[in-house]
Structure 1
Amino acid sequence: MRGSWNGLQALFLQDCPYAYYVHCFAHRLQLALNGAAKDVKVVWRFFLMLTNIVNFISASAKRCNELNLIRKAELKELLDSGELETGKGLHQDRTLKRARATRWGSHFASITSLMSLFKETKLLLLEISDHGPNQQFRGDAESNYIAMMSFEFVFALVLMDKIMGLTNFLCQAFQTKTQDIVSALNFVENTKMQLQDMREHGWDDLFMSVVSFCELHGVDGPDMGARYMTGTRRSCQQKDVITIEHAYRVDVFNDVIDCMLKELNDRFPEQTVELLTLSSSLDPRNSFKSFNIEHICKLAEKFYPADFLPHELKALETELRYFQNDIHHLPCFKETTTLSQLCQQLVETTLAENYIFLDRLIRLVLTLPVSTATTERALSCMRIIKNRLRSTLADEFLADCMILHIEREFANNIDNASIIEEFKSSKPRRVKF
């Protein structure tokens, strides 16, 4: 869809050369996470082993059932000893979750599920490696058990749990049905600041979490002050004399965060950030606190030159000065919080006829798709509605079905009986028995 030569973006640019393509923020974040994982070898190996372990357990219903039985036995033992308390919604059955390339946030869900079921998964793999049905299953279980009990795997598990815990909030915020420009940029900048703070001051907290996790589950940790060895551990193959702590802190911890920050900067380029920042000057929240005439005129001049001629830009500046006085005197603007509401207020109060160029600029800014998660979900659902058995579905009926799906929160509140009665009372109809 974003192809600049033959994709949907190219078709838009043919009709409107100044239409700006803003890639889905949630999708950008997912690409940043994947890019950070690919650039660091330890994290890349971790995700490969995580996928192997989850697929090995989830591939068989019998193994999933055995995992649940082990968890129930562990919970019963902890409840009997008084280490856990009973309550509604606590200690429910859980299972390992697979990470999917096209489902945002699934990698974090896969990590958290393994962390909560680490002991049960370890016991199940150990049981299969000793009493598996054949040599192949026993070998696969043993290899997964060895990888899972390594310090490198546990370190990457705890590290990615902390990093993705930060980015998961950003990912969930981007998947909301509506997202304004200011909030989107603030979430991105806030995430960058937290990642940078974690890089500068988060090593000690992370290392203590790794050590505690290793002690809890019986994972042997190396001497962090010892020399770090690579390859076959022969001295001639070692390029630098570094300690194990230095290798994990600099080559893994720092590199992952640096790659994450780099990917976030690349996925949110300066032109897009400037466009959205200037657009935020029209934000009506807090009594138009962000209103800036200079930034609004720069937005129209730099990003929409085909829509505003030079004399129209001067007229826009004049309109903005008059509008700045009106927003503090007219009561209709006091409770306005979004650009769409502002546009509606201009139309309802007929002020759009006076502020022609301002209304035009607001409509152009409203076309920026800051959050397209809902749109992508609707496109995915189109395959369910128009399937092989309903391939001749007309466009109008398909559009009606898609509206019911997209606005299902409102559709669920509609009573079918009321629709039938309204349809019946609209005109006399012949009823067949």
Structure 2
Amino acid sequence: MAIILRFVDKEGFLRERFFDIVMVEDTTAETLHQEISKVLLHHNLQVERMQGQGYDGASNMRGEWNGLQALFLRDCSYAYYVHCFAHQLQLALVAASKKVDPIWVFFSSLSTIVNVICASPKRLNEFHVAQVMHITELVVAGECETGRGLNQIGTLHRPGATRWGSHFTSVCDLIDKYDATCTVLEFIMDDKSTESLRAEASGAYNAIRSFQFIFILHLLKEIMGLTDVLCRELQHKSQDILNAMNLVEVTVNSLQKLRENGWEDFLEKVECFCKQHDIDIPTMDGQHSVSTRRSYCQQRSITTEHHYRVDIFYAAIDFELVELNGRFSERAKELLILSSSLDPVDGFKAFNIDNICTLAEKFYPQDFTRQELHILRSELIIYESDVPHYDVLKNVPTLSELCRGFFETKRSQRYQMIDRLIRLVLTCATRWRMTFWLIT
């Protein structure tokens, strides 16, 4: 386990330093908590003075009750945990959707399809030829527009475990190139030169021609389309926290709206695609039997609509909502929104005295006495007329540079309470993957 300390030095520089590396017997929250505490104690660093903690998004780290961050919060209730927002968010959402068994099977089939099509130059060339034929047929039938930049020939992209947006791209590719994909799979099935590849192509073809595969394909396009904007926004080097937090709310609300009101329109879209490509559509009020885990002989009888609507549609969206709400807790969002009032970007446009005072009073009560809170508000009134108009500081782009500017211009002595609050915020707010933060 690597331990990294994040702190602001006396001159206002934000530092992150490798501190120690520790061998651990396991990665349970309790073990990690004990080992980190030992390291801090060995160097005479008090856990009670922590101002933040950050880890990856594993459940043993971020668990609300027994995760590592929760254990340290019991030692120090102001050691706020702010998970790196952009850290593999989309991959975490994909992992959440895979908790629905049919979706896990879908991704397995998707990988097979992409591998069969793109594994050799010969099959890839056949795929390109099939696309040209399909586009030509659509143009002749008047079902496809022509023009510059339209109807581009491409390939299927593999959903990668470490690449942003690759799953969404892969799903969209398959929808756009569905006919060409089926054509190439049929070519391979008719090719008697490679028996093993024929069998693999046959399995892939049977999967891609099933209603359940098409249903999940479009469902993931809908869900990932809603979350992809958020994932890309959170990767920006410079973030507007207020807009980012607003986008989290918008994404959650959009998913909730899809869950509550989107079933009929979504099913109609799937059935339209199936009719267009001659895929059998099951009767929704028919019976759908599912084997239980205890015995293949035991089955629960449900309607086909229940299977697709409840077991897949609702379940997939619910797992996404749980993931988003777990990663962006109300407390963390409030902390960052209030902290953004100190951000000097765009000429201190986010500056708000009431928000800054609320930040100090609500999130840092141990660092400010009641008298110091009164002093803070008085300093902020003078600060508002001074710093945003001071040539040296009015154009600083980040809070860390503002902190350094405070030291260099001796504003840290004039605005001691504001300087203290800025240092606290800098110590807590981060986007790094794995850090353990401590203010010294």
Smaller-chain TM-score range? 0.7 to 0.9
The separation in 2 between residues aligned to 1:10 and 1:117, in whole angstroms, is 57
Matched, 1:175 2:235: yes
Structure 1 distance, partners of 2:40, 2:91, is: 24
| Alpha-carbon distance, 1:82 to partner | 4.3
Mapping for residues 303-322 of structure 1, pairs under 5 Å: 303-304=363-364, 308=368, 312-322=372-382
Q: Distance in 2 between matches of 1:193 and 1:328?
A: 36
Q: Indicate the residue corresponding to 1:17 in structure 2.
A: 50
Map of 1:75 onto structure 2 = 135
Map 1:20-419; keep pairs closer than 5 Å. Answer: 20-21=53-54, 22-27=82-87, 29-231=89-291, 237-240=298-301, 242-283=302-343, 291-293=352-354, 295-301=355-361, 303-304=363-364, 308=368, 312-323=372-383, 339=399, 351-372=411-432
CA apart distance, 1:31: 4.7
Structure 1 residues 335-371: Cα deviation after superposition (integer angstroms, max 9, x where no partner):
8886467658867876544222213322432455554
Q: Is the Cα contact below 8 Å between 1:174 and 1:371 reproduced in 2?
A: no
Alpha-carbon distance, 1:168 to partner: 0.6
CA distance in 2, matches of 1:210, 1:133: 36
Deviation at 1:275, TM superposition (A): 2.0
**Residues 199 and 257, structure 1, Cα contact 8 Å, conserved in 2:** yes
Q: How has the CA–CA distance of structure 1 residues 243 and 272 changed in structure 2, closer, same or farther, with 3 Å as cutoff?
A: same
Contact 1:177 1:371 in 2 (8 A): no
Cα distance change of structure 1 residues 313 and 343 upon mapping to structure 2, 3 Å threshold: same
Give the deviation of 1:171 after TM superposition. Answer: 0.7
Give the corresponding residue for 1:388. Answer: none
**What's the offset of the Cα at 1:309?**
5.9
Contact 2:168 2:224 in 1 (8 A): yes
Compute the displacement of 1:215 (Å): 1.3
The code of the aligned residue for 1:133 comes to S
Tell me, what secondary structure is at the counterpart of 2:288? coil
Q: Which amino acid aligns with 1:68?
A: H
Report the RMSD for the aligned CA atoms in angstroms: 3.7
Q: Which residue of 2 aligns with 1:412?
A: none
Question: Matched residue of 2:98: which SS?
Answer: helix
Seen in structure 2, the aligned counterparts of structure 1 residues 6 and 38 have a Cα distance that, compared at 3 Å, is farther
1:85-115 C-alpha deviation (Å, 9 max, x unpaired): 4333222221010111111211101111111
Q: Label 1:202 to 1:304 Cα distance change in 2 as closer, same or farther (>3 A).
A: same
Quote the Cα distance in structure 2 between the aligned partners of 1:136 and 1:9: 55
CA distance change for structure 1 residues 75 and 10 in 2, over 3 Å: closer, same or farther?
farther
Change (3 A) 1:26 1:321: same
Partner SS state of residue 27, structure 1: coil
How many residue pairs align between the two structures? 372
CA distance in 1, matches of 2:414, 2:104: 58
2:63 equivalent in structure 1: none
Q: Does structure 2 retain, via aligned residues, the 8 Å contact 1:128–1:141?
A: yes
| Structure 2 spans left out of the alignment, 5+ residues | 4-26, 55-81, 436-440
Calculate percent identity across the aligned residue pairs.
44
Question: 8 Å contact 1:159–1:253 — kept in the other structure?
Answer: yes
1:420 is matched with which residue? Answer: none
The 10-residue stretch of structure 1 (184-193 or 303-312) with the greater mean CA deviation from structure 2: 303-312
> TM-score, normalization: structure 1?
0.74
Structure 2 distance, partners of 1:158, 1:82, is 25
**What is the SS of the residue equivalent to 2:352?**
coil
Residue 409 of structure 1: aligned partner: none
What CA distance in whole angstroms lies between the structure 1 residues aligned with 2:401 and 2:53?
22
Does structure 2 conserve the Cα–Cα contact (< 8 Å) formed by 1:71 and 1:120?
A: yes
Superimposed CA distance per residue, residues 270-301 of structure 1 (whole angstroms, 9 cap, x where no aligned partner):
442232133134356797566143x4344335
Letter in 2 for 1:355: Y
Counterpart secondary structure, 1:222: coil
CA distance in 1 between partners of 2:37 and 2:398 (Å): 27
* Matches of 1:169 and 1:10, distance apart in 2: 42
More relative contact order in 1 or in 2 (CA 8 Å, sep 6+)? 2
Structure 1 unaligned residues grouped into runs of 5+: 377-433
* Alpha-carbon distance in 2 for matches of 1:137, 1:302: 63
Tell me which protein shows more helix as a share of its residues: 1
Displacement, 1:320? 2.6
Summarize deviations over 1:303-323 as a string: whole Å, max 9, x none: 446755665444323323443
Structure 1 stretch 23-32 or stretch 334-343: which is displaced more? 334-343
Going from structure 1 to structure 2, the CA distance change for 1:80 and 1:6 (only over 3 Å counts) comes to farther
